[in-house]
Amino acid sequence: MAEVKNANNEKLNIGVDIGSTTVKVVVLDAGGKILFKQYERHISKVREKTVELLKNAKEIIGDNYSTISLSGSAGLSVAEITGIDFVQEVFATRIAVDTLLGDTDVVIELGGEDAKILFLSGITEERMNGSCAGGTGSFIDQMASLLNVSLAELDELSFKHELIYNIASRCGVFAKSDIQPLLNQGANKADIAASIYQAIVSQTIAGLAQGRELKGKIVFLGGPLTFLAGLQQRFIESLKLVRGETGIFPENSEYYVAFGAAYESIGKKVYTYAEILDHFEGSKRASNTIGTLPALFNSEEEYKEFAERHSRDTVNYLDIANYEGDAFLGIDAGSTTTKIVLITPEGDILYNFYASNSGEPVSVLKDRFIEILNLCGDKIIIRHAAVTGYGEELIKSAFCVDVGIVETIAHYHAAHYFNPNVDFILDIGGQDMKCFKLKNGIVDSIMLNEACSSGCGSFIETFAHALGYEVEEFAKLGIHSRHPVNLGSRCTVFMNSSVKQSQKDGASIEDISAGLAISVIKNAIYKVMGTSQASDLGDNIVVQGGTFLNDPILRAFEREINKNVTRPAIAGLMGAYGAALYGMNKYHVASKIENRTDIVSKLLTLDELDKFTHSAKIAECGLCTNNCKLTVNTFNKGEKFISGNRCERPTGKKLHEEIPNAYDFKLKKLKYIIEQKDKSNLARKESRGTIGILFGLNMFENLPFWFTFFTELGFDVVVSKVSTRELYIAGQHTIPSDTVCYPAKLMHGHIEDLLERGVKTIFYPCIPYNFDEKAGDNHYNCPVVAYYPELLEANIGRLSQRQHDDESIVPEIKYLTPYFSLHNRRFFYGKAAKYMKETFGIKKKNEVIFAAQRAYSAYEKYRKEVFEFGDEAMKYARDNGKGIIILAGRPYHIDPEVNHGIDKVITSLGMVVISEDCLRLDKKKHKLKILNQWTYHSRLYNAAKIAERNKDINLVQMVSFGCGLDAITTGEVKDILEKGDKIYTQIKIDEINNLGAAKIRLRSLIEAIDAHKEEVI
Amino acid sequence: MAKEDLRYSEDGRLLFTKEMKKKYKILLPMMLPVHFTFFQRIFNSIGYDTELLTSTHPGIVNEGLQDVHNDTCYPALLVIGQMVDAIKSGKYDNDNVALMITQTGGGCRASNYIHLLRKALKKNKMEHIPVISLNISGMEKNSGFKITLSLLLNLIAAVLYGDALMLLANQTRPYEVNKGEADALVQKWEDKLDMHTLKVRHMKKYLKAIVEDFDKIEVVKTDKIKVGIVGEIYVKYSPLGNNNLEDFLASEDCEVVVPGLLDFLIFICDHKIDDYKVLGVDRTKAIIFKFLTNRFKSMQNVFIDVIAASKNFTAPTRFANIKKLIKGYVSSCNKMGEGWLLTAEMLELIESGVKNIVCTQPFGCLPNHVVGKGMIRKIRENHPEANIVAIDYDPGATKINQENRIKLMLSIAKYNKSK
């Protein structure tokens, strides 16, 4: 190569930053002056776009010799192919900041898919987002398309916000499930826009900074932080920065990585312009590192046979202009789309509609209703209208729709029409995936995609758009794929990066389309349904939802389960169609009962629609500690519809009765213990000092124990307050692992709460062994519960001072994390006496033992009361003919910030709620297929056995996202319940504050229970 | 064996009987290439017919996805996927085959792998295949497979030899003049070791011979970046689990430092002593394991002394000293999963001059929230020069994402070195 330096030619330095979505090229002269810079999206054509940009710089590079380095997440593979030097992008940023800005404390850089943080003062540290993290450019893109606005509009909107919602920021999938219901409930887009930005700020603090404080001079880099002023504003406000002083948004901030690459190339190999281009253009395709799968269709004939077979499942269409008579209206107000059908008594379709709701379902529907009523005129009478879907309640009250039904029931009615023997339905919609088994026409088990696993329609759509295709076109390409790429079957975030990798490996669009289809299906089968054998699903399978109109997806499903299935031509309209059929049934039943034929739908008339207005306002409920953020929708007549509530209290509906709720009971009981003792403390003459205890994890159930223990010994015990979202946020910045469960994350906030209240001694013991209730093979706590005290100490600055070797330093905070085991009383007495002597100078052994005895009694008393509550609640239910739900989880699920009020949703549906720890343990060990070695889990299995044996008891399991142990318990609990022909219902909980999915599950469960009951009668 | 000949324990577990010992082939999962080869040899020489599963094709992950809950840890998915894949391959007579899987016991969900494997077999209608638990805690007894003290000591000796070969090869390979010599020596000793050499009393002699052999390899010692690997036991060691991490680091011109397996085994025994001392759990076990711990420690001392006496190789730290490092971080009662040992290994690496560390864990690994990721901040506070990257492994995690993050760690390592 040309190593000979030409004295006449200056040396230039070129930096190329190829990120996940954009390419940036800069050319600098020897003095560091910018001669050329360009920034463009590469739409995954990585190498071509880079060459294009380099060509644009041709004039400027001229015949100068240049040094060049590549950087960026997509730069790595290009560097491998071209043999040009690679600089890791975070490192490049650091070089650029050092060179251009100097004294900087923190750098935050958000890219297309990566987020990075650099701490440059103190202990230097560079970090990137983990593999499960959002809060990046693509996340903003996705959210903008969800709101149906451009990035510029989103940015503008964000300035007009009045209120900020809590939106989960960990990954796009989570955020979507938070935003969607807000949209459906009519929340203001400006508020949502700002909330999306705020979510990114939280993600940066929690996920990236992970326990390090963001202070000093902070520099913001990368595309989104350059172009989005609203996002800048959110960072400035949240971190309390002064623009230009402590919050720096430098010029050319989107080019910093490229600058760094250029600087890093200085002194390295030089190239002529032609040589650089040669390296790029001459390079061959990288070898395939991602495996391929068999083609979906081996021949054109195979596809034809397939297409022909599926063309049979159709519905008749009639021209509405020529029809006269009765009709039934079905509406599916889905999460992203709105579907409407109008059918005749024979089931023929007169009218249908399928479109995005653009985040404004009410106004979309208003226009459609006007159109429909105009088409109907006087000759068609709508006898009944039914609505289903996420927006069901809102739409029902806005337009006086006759009946609202839960989605599962609507889908069943539609599927039944196409295949009366249907025993399994799989529905993949835009945002959610539902599948349910049917037994004798009753929904038997429901599986919904959980927050982390949605590989649904909108994912494919976003992907198609990113590649520059419409979704239909993109789907068609997959039919002709010869070698679909193997993209794995995890959450969409992971699929995203797999797709990117396969593109870099040179996979064709056809192969990606087919590969995606296969992945979506695998995700559905193995992750959502958790099945491995096709025979598990059923014999008469109906698939539906708009996503199944995508032939490769349908084919992939048939292939994977090795069975032919029914896909109605109206796959995308099934919810609405089923609602219409349901409405028709209702009408017939009502006509028969009332013995009249003139029943007409109460749907708003044309006149009423004409005057129809709708506005939405946000309010905070404040009637209980849940503090629900309510959306108050007001319709023309001043009628109000409130959403966002968990219980009926803010709606003003009078509650007839207090339905027993174990969650409520336990929380109140523990609070009562604290309050009672507070009073008795006042009477004490001399205090031994104040001790702080955290109100979270195992300390809930153990609170009576420790509280009594310390109070008896003469300490003033301060318990941290009940968790709230604010409390979580206060501690968020010290969480080192973003995949740990939410109950554990909350503990950081509880520490902050105690510190803020001036507590100087905090007692949070490590308890690896729980009480031995003799119901399992062992009696462990889970590793997180057992050892989290040690994690807190290592990550919360103010707690970790005791570690200094210098004994003379007295730490500000005494944070105590001794190991104790409570199951062995005698051992505890001895150990506690020794511990209290060493730590607090309490010399009288008997005093400690006495306190410990009282502590054991207090714990036993609490447990006994909980058992008795269970007995009474069940008696109440049986006396009053109510169903019983065991809302099973862990004792710490009583935290309202953890259970998000699911208990209240169940009581508002008229069921009695008990919990797994209300049920006395069967001492006879259950034979289980797994190792039953955790105390809390043994209760879970015990509860499942009880539900299995009792007709009127059903079980709903709450599972925290990230709970590794529940990966084991869920399978076992499900097996136990199914032995007793019981429906297994699981609700995943996390920081997400969205009860939509939970409500569908619970309502479906209750419908099914009722149906079972009717069957028995 | 015919169905009617199958025997079950009282709690319904299919037993591996003496009859089976005579006829059955036992499949072993692969975790550490050298160590597990020795295990296989030991089992075969005392009358078992065992085979090591060395398959690595992508079908394993797919099989695993079908067999276990996706949220279960990645190692379980891989090990179970590999086993089910093997018995489905048609290569074995499934009526005369058994599976062996390690079981650590303790509060981590890893102690449930064996049950998940049985569930997977049932799902695939192969519940007639017996599963043998390989553990030193006395769980799940089988008449056809017993771990006697002498077998245990043989296995521990095998671990020691494995650790020694791994350590010597890692310290030699990056610097050897004639590429491949270190690996050839590993192979040579792999073939040479048998029941005779595995006798505890012969250990010193053979270890010396191994060190001498490695001493003869011609090397040019350059100043390479040293990178330590710690983490969850399976992904830390298994190339299948960590996307060939060691090879990747070697290709980036690093010297790889991997703490040995023996420390982990001593750790498992040792924490039972603390369990009794601090928590009052199981006195009998504590006595038995105290005996074992001491025995293993003294074996480790033989190994360390031999290496320490050599002039070219750096010996690892003794278990007792490693344990001291955790003061101020976690308690020695923190025992689930890799427990305090994981924190200690990071500290040990840093104190012995290996400042760059990859901390590996399966996505969502519970103990590692605390002892891995949870301790990094504090370690860096006390050792600002430490350069640690935590990498999650999982069926969906892409290699490119992982490598990019490791490259960041390497860039920082280079930068720190140049300072």
Q: Do A934 and B371 touch (CB under 8 A)?
A: no
Q: Do residue A58 and residue A136 come from a single domain? A: no
Q: CATH number of the domain at B327, please.
A: 3.40.50.11900
Q: Do residue A803 and residue A860 come from a single domain? A: yes
Q: Do residue B22 and residue B112 come from a single domain? A: yes
Which positions in chain B touch A126 (Cβ < 8 Å)?
Answer: 408, 412
Q: Which of B121, B146, B171 is the last residue of a domain?
A: B146
Beta carbons within 8 Å of A169's beta carbon, 6+ residues apart: A134, A135, A175, A199, A200, A202, A203, A206, A207
Rounded CA gap, B59 and B148, in Å? 37
Give me the pLDDT at residue A4, please: 38
Q: Do A126 and B412 touch (CB under 8 A)?
A: yes
State the DSSP code for B16: -
Quote ipTM for the complex. 0.94
Closest residue, chain A, to B11 (C-alpha): A927
Give me the pLDDT at residue A288, please: 47
Give me the pLDDT at residue A621, please: 74
Yes or no: say if A218 and A207 are a contact pair by the CB < 8 Å rule: no
Q: Do B123 and A929 touch (CB under 8 A)?
A: no
Is residue A552 domain-resident?
yes
Q: Do residue B228 and residue B141 come from a single domain? A: no
Give the pLDDT confidence of A643-695 residue by residue, as tens digits: 767 676 776 665 556 899 999 999 999 999 888 765 565 555 578 999 999 99
Give me the pLDDT at residue A804, please: 47
A336 has a pLDDT exceeding 80 = no
Give the pLDDT confidence of B259-270 residue by residue, as tens digits: 999 999 999 999
Across A855-878, average pLDDT: 96
Q: Do residue A498 and residue A445 come from a single domain? A: yes
Which positions in chain A touch B116 (Cβ < 8 Å)?
Answer: 930, 968
- How would DSSP label each residue in A603-649? PPPHHHHHH--EEEEEEE--SSTT-PEEEEEEETTS-EEEES-SSSG
Yes or no: say if A754 and A690 are a contact pair by the CB < 8 Å rule: no
Chain A contact for B367 (CB, 8 A cutoff) = yes
Q: Do B66 and A820 touch (CB under 8 A)?
A: no
Average model confidence (pLDDT) for chain A?
85
Chain B contact for A289 (CB, 8 A cutoff) = yes
Give the pLDDT confidence of B34-50 residue by residue, as tens digits: 899 999 999 999 999 99
Give the pLDDT confidence of A184-241 residue by residue, as tens digits: 666 788 999 999 999 888 888 777 777 677 889 999 998 899 999 999 999 999 999 9
Restricting to B residues 302-321, those with a Cβ less than 8 Å away from any Cβ of A are none
Winning range, highest mean pLDDT, from A776-780, A971-975, B199-203, B204-208 = B204-208
Chain B contact for A354 (CB, 8 A cutoff) = no
Lowest mean pLDDT among A395-399, A871-875, B166-170: A395-399
Q: Do residue B231 and residue B139 come from a single domain? A: no
Parallel, antiparallel or unpaired: strands A115-119 and A125-128: antiparallel
- How would DSSP label each residue in A282-304? SPPPPPP-S-B---S-SSHHHHH
A287 has a pLDDT exceeding 50 = no
Chain A contact for B10 (CB, 8 A cutoff) = no
Higher-pLDDT residue of A436, B379 = B379
Rounded CA gap, A903 and A738, in Å? 26
Give me the pLDDT at residue A535, please: 66
Is residue A703 domain-resident?
yes
Q: Do B107 and A740 touch (CB under 8 A)?
A: no
Q: Do residue B372 and residue B250 come from a single domain? A: yes
Across B238-247, average pLDDT: 93
Is residue B37 domain-resident?
yes
pTM of the predicted protein model: 0.88
- Of B61, B123, B404, Cβ closest to residue A88: B404
Which positions in chain B touch A495 (Cβ < 8 Å)?
Answer: 396
pLDDT grade for A574, boundaries at 50, 70 and 90: very high
Rounded CA gap, A382 and A319, in Å? 16
Yes or no: say if B211 and B167 are a contact pair by the CB < 8 Å rule: no
Chain A contact for B12 (CB, 8 A cutoff) = yes
Q: How many percent of chain B have pLDDT more than 70?
A: 100
Q: Do residue A870 and residue A995 come from a single domain? A: yes
Which positions in chain B touch A208 (Cβ < 8 Å)?
Answer: none
Give the pLDDT confidence of B62-81 residue by residue, as tens digits: 888 778 877 788 999 999 99
Q: Which of B118, B146, B174 is the last residue of a domain?
A: B146
Tally of structural domains, chain A: 6
By residue range, what is the domain housing residue B375? 224-260+316-419
- Of B109, B395, B397, Cβ closest to residue A964: B109
Chain B contact for A521 (CB, 8 A cutoff) = no
Closest residue, chain B, to A804 (C-alpha): B328
Q: CATH number of the domain at A357, please.
A: 3.30.420.40
B109 to chain A, closest Cα gap in Å: 6
Q: Do B395 and A490 touch (CB under 8 A)?
A: yes
pLDDT grade for A1013, boundaries at 50, 70 and 90: low
Across A824-836, average pLDDT: 95
Chain A contact for B401 (CB, 8 A cutoff) = yes
In this structure, is the dihedral angle defined by the CA atoms of residues A41, A47, A48 and A49, taken in order, positive or negative?
positive
CA geometry: angle A155, A161, A162, nearest 5 deg:
170
Give me the pLDDT at residue A1, please: 35
Q: What is the CA radius of gyration of chain B?
A: 21
Winning range, highest mean pLDDT, from A75-79, A174-178, A620-624 = A75-79
State the DSSP code for A254: G
Chain B contact for A488 (CB, 8 A cutoff) = yes
Residue A37 amino acid letter: K
Across B408-417, average pLDDT: 91
Is residue A448 domain-resident?
yes
Yes or no: say if A577 and A330 are a contact pair by the CB < 8 Å rule: yes
Q: How many percent of chain A have pLDDT more than 70?
A: 88
Chain B contact for A737 (CB, 8 A cutoff) = yes
Is residue B125 domain-resident?
yes
Which positions in chain B touch A532 (Cβ < 8 Å)?
Answer: 66-67, 123-124
- Of B118, B369, B400, Cβ closest to residue A784: B369
Closest residue, chain B, to A72 (C-alpha): B404
Yes or no: say if B14 and B8 are a contact pair by the CB < 8 Å rule: yes
Q: Do residue B231 and residue B142 come from a single domain? A: no
Give me the pLDDT at residue A1017, please: 42
Q: CATH number of the domain at B52, please.
A: 3.40.50
B317 has a pLDDT exceeding 60 = yes
Rounded CA gap, A997 and A988, in Å? 9
Q: Do A87 and B329 touch (CB under 8 A)?
A: no
In a 13 Å sphere around the CA of A20, the CA atoms on its Cβ side amount to 23
Q: Do residue A61 and residue A43 come from a single domain? A: yes
Which positions in chain A touch B232 (Cβ < 8 Å)?
Answer: none
Q: Do residue A906 and residue A779 come from a single domain? A: yes
Q: Do residue A685 and residue A747 come from a single domain? A: yes
Chain B contact for A803 (CB, 8 A cutoff) = yes
Is residue B374 domain-resident?
yes
A378 has a pLDDT exceeding 50 = yes
Q: Do A737 and B398 touch (CB under 8 A)?
A: no
Q: Do residue A216 and residue A349 come from a single domain? A: no
pLDDT grade for A733, boundaries at 50, 70 and 90: confident
Give me the pLDDT at residue B10, please: 85
Higher-pLDDT residue of A526, A824 = A824
Chain A contact for B361 (CB, 8 A cutoff) = no
Rounded CA gap, B275 and B362, in Å? 26
Give the pLDDT confidence of A534-557 residue by residue, as tens digits: 667 888 999 988 889 889 999 999
A458 to chain B, closest Cα gap in Å: 20
Give me the pLDDT at residue A3, please: 38
Rounded CA gap, B60 and B54, in Å? 11
Q: Do residue B245 and residue B366 come from a single domain? A: yes
Give me the pLDDT at residue A899, please: 92
B365 to chain A, closest Cα gap in Å: 7
Give the pLDDT confidence of A187-202 residue by residue, as tens digits: 788 999 999 999 888 8
Average model confidence (pLDDT) for chain B?
92
Which positions in chain B touch A494 (Cβ < 8 Å)?
Answer: 394, 396-398
Chain B interface, mutation test: which of A99, A806, A931, most B Cβ atoms within 10 Å? A931
Is residue B42 domain-resident?
yes
Is residue B396 domain-resident?
yes
Chain B contact for A809 (CB, 8 A cutoff) = no
Yes or no: say if A601 and A382 are a contact pair by the CB < 8 Å rule: yes
Q: Do B396 and A490 touch (CB under 8 A)?
A: yes
Q: Do residue A396 and residue A429 come from a single domain? A: no
pLDDT grade for A798, boundaries at 50, 70 and 90: confident
Chain A contact for B126 (CB, 8 A cutoff) = no
pLDDT grade for A1012, boundaries at 50, 70 and 90: low
Is residue A729 domain-resident?
yes
- Of B370, B396, B407, Cβ closest to residue A791: B370
Give me the pLDDT at residue A170, please: 62
B220 has a pLDDT exceeding 80 = yes
Chain B interface, mutation test: which of A131, A527, A770, A975, most B Cβ atoms within 10 Å? A131
CB pairs under 8 A between A and B: 225
Which positions in chain A touch B402 (Cβ < 8 Å)?
Answer: 131
By residue range, what is the domain housing residue A148? 106-249
Yes or no: say if A619 and A632 are a contact pair by the CB < 8 Å rule: yes
Is residue A2 domain-resident?
no
B99 to chain A, closest Cα gap in Å: 17
Chain B contact for A808 (CB, 8 A cutoff) = no
Q: Do residue A875 and residue A816 come from a single domain? A: yes
Q: Do residue A86 and residue A141 come from a single domain? A: no
Restricting to A residues 939-968, those with a Cβ less than 8 Å away from any Cβ of B are 962, 964-968
Is residue B215 domain-resident?
no
Across A924-940, average pLDDT: 82
Yes or no: say if B331 and B229 are a contact pair by the CB < 8 Å rule: no
Q: Do A783 and B107 touch (CB under 8 A)?
A: yes
CA geometry: angle A402, A403, A406, nearest 5 deg:
160
A996 to chain B, closest Cα gap in Å: 23
Q: Which of A507, A537, A565 is the last residue of a domain?
A: A565
- How would DSSP label each residue in A844-883? -HHHHHHHHHHHHHHHHHHHHHHHHHHHHHHHHHHHTT--
Yes or no: say if A86 and A75 are a contact pair by the CB < 8 Å rule: yes
Q: How many CB atoms sit inside 10 A of residue A932's CB?
A: 25
A12 to chain B, closest Cα gap in Å: 24
Chain A contact for B418 (CB, 8 A cutoff) = no
A431 has a pLDDT exceeding 70 = no
Chain A contact for B46 (CB, 8 A cutoff) = no
Lowest mean pLDDT among A519-528, A729-738, B232-241: A519-528
Q: Which of B111, B146, B181 is the last residue of a domain?
A: B146
Give me the pLDDT at residue A169, please: 66
Chain A contact for B285 (CB, 8 A cutoff) = no
Identify the burial level of A228 via C-beta atoms within 10 angstroms of its C-beta, where 0-12 means exposed, 13-18 middle and 19 or more buried: buried
Higher-pLDDT residue of A720, A20 = A720
Lowest mean pLDDT among A309-318, A806-815, A955-964, B328-337: A806-815
Q: Do A968 and B69 touch (CB under 8 A)?
A: yes
Is residue B290 domain-resident?
no
Is residue B100 domain-resident?
yes
Give me the pLDDT at residue A799, please: 87
Give the pLDDT confidence of A937-949 residue by residue, as tens digits: 999 999 999 999 9
Tally of structural domains, chain B: 2
Q: Do residue A542 and residue A440 come from a single domain? A: yes
Rounded CA gap, B30 and A577, in Å? 54
Could you give the C-alpha distances from A711 to A642, A706, A763, in angstroms and in order? 45, 8, 13
Which positions in chain B touch A77 (Cβ < 8 Å)?
Answer: 400
